[in-house]
Amino acid sequence: MNSLYPLKFNPIFKEKIWGGQKIKTLFNKKFSPLPNCGESWELSGVEENISVVSNGFLKGNNLEEIAEIYMCDLLGEKNYEKYGTQFPILVKLIDSNDWLSLQVHPNDDLAMKRHKQNGKSEMWYILHAEKNAQLISGFNKELSEKTYLEKLNNGSLSEVLNYEKAVKGDVFYMPAGRIHALGPGICLAEIQQTSDVTYRIHDWGRVDDKGNSRELHTEQSLEAIDFKRYDDYKLNGTKVLNQSTNMVKSPHFTSNIIAIDKPYVCDYYSLDSFVIYVCTEGKFKLIYENGEESVQMGETVLIPATLSELKLIPEEKATILEVFIES
């Protein structure tokens, strides 16, 4: 059997009522004939949206097929034991030209009980933000369910929502249960559990081109929402040049950021997991045992678990998200 290598995938483009053009203008991803692109799914094991390889001898095979053949060599032993052939991480690029709905995602227990799926915790890394761009993350004070419903029904919920200014390089972690919404003028990379379960709470009175409003999930969302207030809505996204700096360490994934201006060696001998690279700035050459791969801003690469040492060589400077699952 041929050896695995760093895998690239064809993006899966999603038109959205709030989508814009930045997936094309910032990352040169052509999503025609869609009029806009709100989401580009860069790496996905979601049923009916499984990523297809775009490079090397596995080109044309989808992620699930490769997992069935290579199993632990691709995923790592513990990941394969836990998740089987369904890839556990979903990577998206998101472009918001308008407010996304105010929404929440269920945790693993609730999602499994209701939908036979994983829950959905996610991380946002801001790639581009226009002046005064903002987003909603959680509440600005602790609420009871009764107070929340009163404010939702009388139109005053915005008074208790936590608004955050968004600038390039910001990092936000949205654990399952945290109410959130992305505002206009933001483009980001999203790292999340493999799940597509969303409870829409409020959609700003918006209708589609046929005059129809989107479904809301007021009752379903109640059991999912965490009504507490937190102090750490925005995380520290400070980069240390030529080091891997941790941003998120959760039960579902670890996410670091690597900023380099000279060759950098990645040692994964003690890691029992695949690694995902998302290039957020610049471009770099990825050197591995049997070859090399060029990676530029907006591209995602999946590093199989069997590749234990890599060298990253930047063209001038590059910034990379490094994502894996720790045992």
> Do 86 and 74 meet the contact criterion of CB atoms below 8 Å apart?
no
Alpha helices in the chain (DSSP H): 22-25, 63-70, 72-75, 77-83, 108-115, 145-154, 218-222
| Type of residue at 131 | K
Q: Specify the residue for token string 């556990």.
A: 88
C-alpha 240, offset from chain centre: 22
CA distance 114 to 112: 6
Token couple for 180:
């959130």
Torsion of the alpha carbons at 277, 282, 283 and 284, rounded to the nearest 10 = -70
- The distance from CA 154 to its chain's CA centroid, rounded to whole angstroms, is 33
Q: What is the largest CA-CA distance in the chain?
A: 63
Which of the following is catalytic: 114, 200, 206, 229?
Answer: 200
Spatial contact of 273 and 325, defined as CB atoms under 8 Å apart: yes
Sign of CA dihedral 20, 22, 25, 30: negative
Establish whether 200 is a catalytic residue: yes
The rounded distance, in Å, linking the Cα atoms of 92 and 48 is: 16
| Helix-, strand-, coil-residue percentages of the chain, each rounded to 5 | 15, 40, 45
| Distance, CA of 192 to chain centre | 4
What is the CA angle 66-67-71, rounded to 5? 125
253 burial type by CB count under 10 A (0-12 exposed, 13-18 middle, 19+ buried)? buried
Q: What is the number of other CB atoms lying within 10 angstroms of the CB of residue 197?
A: 19
Catalytic amino acids?
200
